[in-house]
Structure 1
Amino acid sequence: MLENYAQNLIKPAYSDLQNQVNTLKTVSDNFLNTTNTDNLVALQNAWTNAYSSFQYANAYNFGIAGEQGLNKSLVEEVATFPASTSKIETAIANNTANFNDFNRDARGFLAIEYLIFDGSGNQQNIINTFSNTTRKNYLRDAISNLKNRIDIVASAWNGTYYNEFIQNTGTDVGSSTSQLYNEFIRSYETIKNLKLGIPLGKSLGQTQAEPQRAEAYYSGKSLDMIKLHFQAIENVWYGKSKDGVDGIGFKEYLESVEGGNALIASTENQLLVIKNQLNNIPNTPSLAVQIQTNPTPLENLHTELQRHTRFFKSDMSSLLGISITFSSGDGD
């Protein structure tokens, strides 16, 4: 099982992500050297491709991608949202950018998104902001920092960590299966709690919807990313690669334990319900707009994601004997 995940899901995910981020840097350099509409559109497309690729790596947030010293996990370092526009603008105004501090909401994919999209689609407004050399430097440095972080993880999977992961057998805390399972659950709950729950106002302490806290708010790509992320989660469940290579995954692991087939049936029935709900929600207008104009389908989707949590989390953990080592903080 571990070999299938490493060879067919994790390595290809990080390899594609690395390639897409390399392209993002090249296209960004072109834009910064020649700041015009054509190069801006190319940059926006490159960002979309790279962040779409990241959705397939989101669940593999362990090992070299986990916390390392003062660095948090890769997901926190490069995909914290919403971006803090005040921190970004202050750093640009004061020329005090620091991409290794604790301000993770001022770097990574979503900070870059804020700089190159404005939500209205007015490309000239964006181009005008880059008359500021300091803003150009911020974008250049943000992308370089993103590239460096992705390169470290991709290189590790192409090096010694690949065998370390496969050989770290068992289900104890710290084993590869435990790390993979826990990050799989965390990644699923990111969709439910952060990408959908908070914008809908469903989080503890919220009194109303906060659509401006959606992922990919400025590009309007929130729903695209949720759908790709959910597909990636399904792939982890099945042990299936992005290209359709179907190997041994958690589903097959459950087939080997008592009660596993019943849980598989419940899980797959509910996955189908969620997928149907997702397919019935259009990608446009944006998630933020739909929360304000037609929230019911989104609220129904959130309810179905909540219903599914027990299958991936408590039931699966119990049957496989894998401890849950993180807290989602949502009471599920």
Structure 2
Amino acid sequence: MKKSLLFALTLLLLTVGMFSCQKDPAGDSPEPSTGPDRKALLTHWADSLVKPAYQRFNDKLVVLKAKTTAFTAAPAPATLEELRQAWQAAYVEWQKVELYEFGPAEQVSLRNHFNIYPADVTGINRNITSGSYDFELSTAIPQQGFPTLDYLLNGVATGDAAIAQRYASSANHRRYLTDVVAKMEQTFGTVYAQWNGSYRDTFINNAGTDASSSLSRVINAYSLYYERYLRAGKIGIPAGAMTGAPLPDKIEAYYQRGALPLQLATTAHAAVQQFFTGRTGQPSLKSYLDALGAKDSRTGQSLTSIISAQFGVSAQQLASLGPDLHATITARNADAVASYNEMQKAVRLIKVDMTSAMGITVTYVDNDGD
């Protein structure tokens, strides 16, 4: 009898426990998230920024290839000038996509194939003379891309007539010029095709914050580009900000000079600034950080307000280096150093405060000694 009562009591307690553990059907749905929508941000980046920018750049590459073909078929000052204009247009457009060194671009080392400068003139001339070269070798990185085209179109001789004649009389020069452009088209074509294929969905659906996530890869690429390739590469190294001695021969588009080097730098800076700010009502780094309530670690003020303000100051200082960056570095280098210093102020904000607020780990190391 006692055992029967004990069994009945145990059964009753288990039954009550089971019912008490059941959830209210109305509570089955998770609470709506009040945080930023990472997938919406990634979707906007893919469909409204990266893919359209790549399409515009691809259009410029198509023209560059056509003008290269026309020039090598009939080398003359007129066809040379048309090719130069196509090269400059593509080079400026490149500044708007170079910061997208993640995903397919990172896999093929797109930047290495397109814009490592200064060009290795000795290596380029050796390649032309021998007629034998492999653009996939690490030693060939500064022997291709836009900086090499700068030398080939502006530096192989003095004056347009002499440059055109060099190509008219040298099949190896014509071949090398053609091969450089063909390699650019092939390498970028791989990246462009993947974004227009399955990678777009892969990118959007990888919406975590771990080191392999799309968000982490974008933020690391963005921070690295700003710190190493814009701040240091375009201004700091030529100005000698890290070494104490100006090196004007290290500027972008060294052989063309004139207004182009600064135009490349200001275009790149505007691309970084616009990627951060975005458009009103659209997802962006700024809106994401605002949704997180991100603060500056030193002042406690809105992080996005401080970053935006610093970008504005940097843009003004950079523009003041015109019209000829080479001449500015040579004659009034202190202004170039001042521009570098203004850009430097945003490094901590981006690399430390922004990544910390977003829960992103910085996965690259910069060793420029600053």
Return the offset for 1:161: 0.6
Given that 2:118 and 2:250 are in contact with CA atoms closer than 8 Å, whether structure 1 keeps it comes out as: yes
1:133 aligned onto 2:176: no
Task: Identify the residue that residue 151 of structure 1 maps to in structure 2.
Answer: 189
TM superposition score normalised by structure 2: 0.83
> Is 1:288 aligned to 2:326, yes or no?
yes
C-alpha distance in structure 2 between counterparts of 1:51 and 1:247, whole Å = 28
Which one of 79, 90, 94 corresponds to residue 130 of structure 2?
94
Secondary structure (helix, strand or coil) at the match of 1:229 reads helix
2:155 aligned residue: 118
- 1:233 corresponds in structure 2 to 272
Distance of aligned partners of 1:117 and 1:246 in 2 relative to their CA distance in 1, 3 Å threshold: farther
CA distance in 1 between partners of 2:107 and 2:196 (Å): 19
2: distance between equivalents of 1:251 and 1:258?
10
Tell me, in whole angstroms, the C-alpha distance in 2 between the residues paired with 1:18 and 1:188: 23
The alignment status of 1:55 with 2:95, answered yes or no, reads yes
Secondary structure of the corresponding residue to residue 298 of structure 1 = helix
User: Which structure's CA Rg is the greater one?
Assistant: 2
Partner Cα separation in structure 1 for residue 357 and residue 85 of structure 2:
43
TM-fit CA distance, 1:268: 1.3
Q: How does 1:1-332 map onto structure 2 within 5 Å?
A: 1-68=41-108, 73-102=109-138, 103-118=140-155, 122-130=159-167, 131-189=169-227, 190-203=229-242, 206-220=243-257, 221-240=260-279, 247-260=282-295, 262-282=302-322, 284-285=323-324, 287-330=325-368
Shift of 1:82: 0.7
3-state SS, counterpart of residue 159 of structure 1: coil
Tell me the TM-score normalised to structure 1 length: 0.92
Structure 1: state its 5+ residue gaps.
none
Cα displacement (A) at 1:312: 1.2
Q: Note the C-alpha offset of 1:246.
A: 6.2
Rounded to whole Å, the distance in 1 between the matches of 2:293 and 2:287 is: 12
User: What RMSD in Å do the two structures reach over aligned CA positions?
Assistant: 1.7
The runs of 4+ residues in structure 1 deviating greater than 3 Å are 258-261
Of all paired residues, the percent bearing the same amino acid is 28
Contact 2:246 2:333 in 1 (8 A): no
Cα distance in 1 between the residues matched to 2:111 and 2:177: 19
Aligned residues: 320
